[in-house]
Every structure is written in structure tokens, then in C-alpha cells.
């Protein structure tokens, strides 16, 4: 599969895919004789994984470390697990933070609504009353 096909498939740009490979976010992609990237299904799975993890904000560096270990074989499984565990905790912590902020936003929005909605209804009532008067 060509780079632009993969880019299309995952909603990334070819530039980003090349960057991910250079940065070690995905293992080296196989090449044609001419030297052009020829993504396999496995390459695609890595791309999808990288996209997902990056989307959640895992740092490029941590993912690159994970991939580097992966490429070094089975013996690195414990180290890889340690990275996953650490990033999982960091992610959960960030989410907890965000949840608290979300709650706070909801609270604030509810307060704005409490103040603004009555005003709007009042306004709507006035308009309706005027319309009725105009009807006669």
C-alpha cells in the first residue's frame, strides 16, 4: 500500500506518516526496490496504534521507546509492560483532572442558564404579546 493510501485510510497526511516513522513511532516500513514505502497490513496496524495513542496524548518519545523495545524481541516484554503501565497511569490521572474540570464547566453553564434562560423567556413572551396586539 502506498503512503498516500495509508494516509487516506487513517486520516493522516503522508508527511505525518513519514514523521512517525522517522521518530520511531512505528517500525521501519518495507520498501519497494525503488525505495518507496510499501505498507503491509502490519504496518497499518502500527499506524493505527500510533494514531490512537497520540490521539490520547501519549508522548511521541514514550511510544518510540515502546516500539524500539518491541523491535528488540521478546526479552523486552517486561520493559514494554512497564511503559504501558506508566502511560496508563498518566492517562488516567489526566482524565481525572479533566473530569473535575468538566464538572466545573457544567456547573458554570448551569448557572449561566439559570440567569439567562428566564430573561430569554421573558423576551419571547414580550414579543408574543406584541404580536397578539398587532393581530387586532
Which parts of this chain interact with its own copies (CB under 8 A)?
52-53, 55-58, 77-78, 80-81, 84-85, 87-88, 91-92, 94-95, 97-102, 104-106, 108-109, 112-113, 115-116
User: Grid coordinates in use for 108?
Assistant: 458554570
- CB of 34: closest distance to its own copies in angstroms? 36
* SS3 (DSSP) at 31: strand
Binding letters toward DNA, positions 40-79, x by CB under 7 A:
--------------x----xxx------------------
Beta-bridge partners for 37: 31
The maximal CA–CA distance of the chain, rounded, in angstroms, is 88
DSSP states along 46-88: HHHHHHHHHHTT--HHHHHHHHHHHHT-GGGHHHHHHHHHHHH
CB under 5 to 8 A by kind: which of its own copies, DNA, none does 124 bind? Answer: none
Give the footprint of DNA on this chain (CB under 7 A): 2-5, 13-16, 18-19, 31-37, 54, 59-61
Amino acid at each position: 500500500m502506498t503512503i498516500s493510501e495509508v494516509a487516506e485510510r487513517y486520516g493522516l497526511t503522508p508527511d505525518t506518516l513519514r514523521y512517525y516513522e522517522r521518530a520511531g513511532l512505528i517500525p521501519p516500513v518495507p520498501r519497494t526496490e525503488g525505495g518507496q514505502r510499501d505498507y503491509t497490513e502490519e504496518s497499518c496496524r502500527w499506524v493505527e496504534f500510533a494514531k490512537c495513542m497520540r490521539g490520547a496524548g501519549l508522548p511521541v518519545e514514550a511510544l518510540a521507546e515502546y516500539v524500539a523495545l518491541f523491535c528488540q524481541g521478546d526479552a523486552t516484554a517486561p520493559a514494554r509492560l512497564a511503559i504501558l503501565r506508566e502511560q496508563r497511569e498518566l492517562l488516567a490521572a489526566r482524565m481525572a483532572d479533566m473530569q473535575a474540570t468538566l464538572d466545573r464547566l457544567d456547573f458554570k453553564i448551569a448557572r449561566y442558564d439559570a440567569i439567562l434562560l428566564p430573561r430569554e423567556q421573558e423576551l419571547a413572551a414580550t414579543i408574543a404579546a406584541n404580536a397578539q396586539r398587532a393581530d387586532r
